[in-house]
């Protein structure tokens, strides 16, 4: 049986739910279909950091060398990569290496800044208007450093933020201790990104899912989309494990799974899954005052009311969300290297998720260059929570034909797909 719908959103995690919220506000009818339950995906167990300060993309000068250095120290490394001769994976790695340039950073900064600031503003508005109670804490993000080399990197980042009109305070050892009394003497300095915030992503997404349901969205769970069919430059059918849809508009928001879902559409969607882990524990007696990043180890720490979350690791991996206990032990160990912790952690949950990562470090947001009724909202890598509400608003604007509020070109699929007008036939 074929069901006609207005907007069909594939994927009901951070990006899909935010798209649903803003499309519903714009008066569209929305159906969300997810292969599992909505509001879980790769976002519920993440660090919960909202980071408009994050304007430098992952693909930046020096990243290839840094990644190789990290791989030489596997026991403490924040990074690892699978070994595979898959041509798509090798091409992704090459594209990543080529993107690690000043030109890519220059191109990305205005785009990430505009989307990050819009998103941060939208979080405040949405949480206030909808009355969400999700441990939202606008106290900034404090990076801690143990080595002069990493601290110099942090100071450089603060300088780039100042040049772009964003706040960041460089703190010496004493100032860091004042702000976060739990730091150990090995921490020599820090940078406080004061415009950042944090929240509990599982609670936020649950409340957002509930809200979009109340606003009229149909939510279909445990029903994977198996393929998308197109003809004459339009998506004609979306096929799931149980039925077929004929949507007026499709939004592909399936994170790391987007390339396989869109496999039949003759598009290049270079998204590579990057697995990371978290543990959530009962708040220890000495609880950090605010969201932190342990600089050299790239481990995130987030106080969440009576819970504390520690998250980290970036593994270029297969589509696999299994938890490796060794990595959980590693991120807890990193915490103990930077912060005083006198007790055994009472761990309540261990988790793994996939960051949908593009080779140039920017998400894919915009119209398909081949199908006139298909919008992409995927590839947000380490920023899929942070950029969610901004992406949702951009997608709703594109769907209604409104003028873009800032330049969306850097996010466009055209950067990976040069489509000749003559080939626009399905
Ligand atoms: C350890 C860790 C820490 C992180 N910390 C942060 C942070 O502090 N701040 C931040 O902004 N980001 C963070 N991230 C990144 C963030 O979690 C991701 O960018 C985000 O989850 C991407 O959201 P998404 O909705 O695009 O994709 P996902 O969250 O991956 O969701 C994709 C959805 O699509 C569904 N789906 C998949 N296949 C199908 C199919 N065939 N049919 C239908 N549905 C399908 C899935 O079930 C899922 O619900 C972190 C990630 C990790 C791993």
- Which domains are assigned to the chain? 2-44+203-271+361-423 (3.50.50.60), 62-99+135-197+272-355 (3.30.9.10)
Range scoring the smallest mean pLDDT among 251-265, 328-342, 378-392, 407-421: 407-421
Query: Taking a C-beta distance cutoff of 8 angstroms, is the pair 245, 283 a contact?
Result: no
Query: Mean pLDDT throughout 307-314?
Result: 97
Task: List, in order, residues 6 or more apart from 297 with CB less than 8 Å away.
Answer: 76, 78, 312, 331, 334, 337, 338
Q: Is 173 exposed, middle or buried (0-12, 13-18, 19+ CB in 10 A)?
A: middle
For 22, the 3-state DSSP assignment is helix
pLDDT 10s digits, 379-420: 999 999 999 999 999 999 999 999 989 999 999 999 999 876
Residue 310 tokens, joined: 């520690």
Query: Taking a C-beta distance cutoff of 8 angstroms, is the pair 360, 93 a contact?
Result: no
Query: Mean pLDDT throughout 181-196?
Result: 98
Ligand 1 atom nearest to 15, measured from its CA = 25
Ligand 1 atom nearest to 277, measured from its CA = 1
pLDDT 10s digits, 70-129: 887 776 789 888 889 999 999 999 999 999 999 999 999 999 999 999 999 999 999 999
Query: Taking a C-beta distance cutoff of 8 angstroms, is the pair 247, 10 a contact?
Result: no
Phi, psi (rounded to 5 degrees) for 423: -90, 5
Protein residues with CB under 6 Å of any ligand 1 atom = 10-16, 33-36, 41-43, 46-49, 224-225, 253-257, 261, 276-278, 300, 311, 353-356, 378, 380-386
What gap in Å lies between CA 312 and CA 279, rounded to an integer?
9
pTM over 0.85: yes
CA torsion through residues 199, 254, 407, 95, sign: positive
H helix or E strand, kind and range, residue 74: none
Ligand 1 atom nearest to 33, measured from its CA = 43
Query: Taking a C-beta distance cutoff of 8 angstroms, is the pair 291, 196 a contact?
Result: yes
């Amino acid at each position: 049986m074929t069901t006609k719908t207005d907007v069909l959103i594939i994927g009901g995690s951070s990006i899909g739910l935010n798209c649903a919220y803003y499309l519903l506000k714009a008066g569209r009818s929305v159906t969300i279909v997810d292969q599992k339950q909505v509001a879980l995906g790769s976002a519920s167990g993440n660090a919960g950091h909202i980071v408009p300060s994050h304007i430098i993309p992952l693909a930046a000068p020096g990243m290839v060398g840094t990644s190789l250095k990290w791989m030489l120290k596997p026991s403490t490394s924040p990074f690892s990569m699978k070994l595979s001769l898959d041509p798509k994976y090798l091409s992704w790695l090459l594209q990543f290496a080529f993107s690690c340039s000043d030109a890519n950073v220059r191109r990305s900064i205005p785009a990430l800044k505009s989307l990050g600031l819009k998103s941060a503003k939208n979080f405040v508005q949405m949480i206030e208007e909808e009355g969400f109670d999700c441990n939202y804490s606008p106290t900034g993000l404090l990076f801690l450093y143990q080595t002069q080399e990493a601290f110099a990197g942090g100071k450089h980042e603060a300088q780039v933020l100042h040049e772009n009109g964003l706040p960041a305070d460089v703190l010496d050892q004493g100032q860091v201790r004042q702000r976060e009394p739990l730091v150990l003497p090995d921490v020599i300095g820090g940078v406080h990104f004061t415009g950042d915030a944090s929240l509990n992503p599982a609670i936020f997404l649950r409340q957002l899912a509930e809200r979009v349901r109340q606003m009229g969205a149909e939510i279909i769970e445990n029903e994977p989309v198996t393929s998308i069919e197109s003809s004459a430059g339009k998506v004609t059918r979306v096929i799931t494990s149980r039925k077929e849809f004929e949507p007026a508009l499709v939004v592909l928001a399936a994170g790391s799974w987007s390339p396989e879902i869109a496999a039949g559409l003759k598009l290049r969607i270079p998204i590579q899954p990057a697995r990371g882990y978290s543990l959530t524990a009962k708040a220890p007696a000495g609880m950090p005052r605010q969201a932190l990043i342990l600089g050299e180890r790239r481990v995130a720490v987030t106080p969440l009311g009576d819970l504390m979350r520690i998250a980290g690791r970036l593994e270029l991996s297969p589509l696999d969300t299994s938890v490796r206990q060794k990595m959980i032990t590693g991120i807890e160990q990193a915490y103990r290297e930077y912060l005083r912790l006198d007790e055994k952690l009472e761990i309540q949950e261990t988790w793994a998720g996939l960051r949908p990562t593009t080779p140039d470090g920017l998400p894919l947001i915009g119209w398909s260059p081949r199908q006139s009724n298909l919008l992409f909202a995927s590839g947000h890598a380490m920023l899929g929570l942070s950029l969610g509400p901004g992406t949702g608003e951009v997608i709703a604007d594109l769907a209604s034909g409104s003028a873009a509020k800032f330049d969306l070109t850097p996010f466009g699929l055209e950067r990976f797909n040069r489509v000749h007008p003559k080939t626009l036939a399905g």
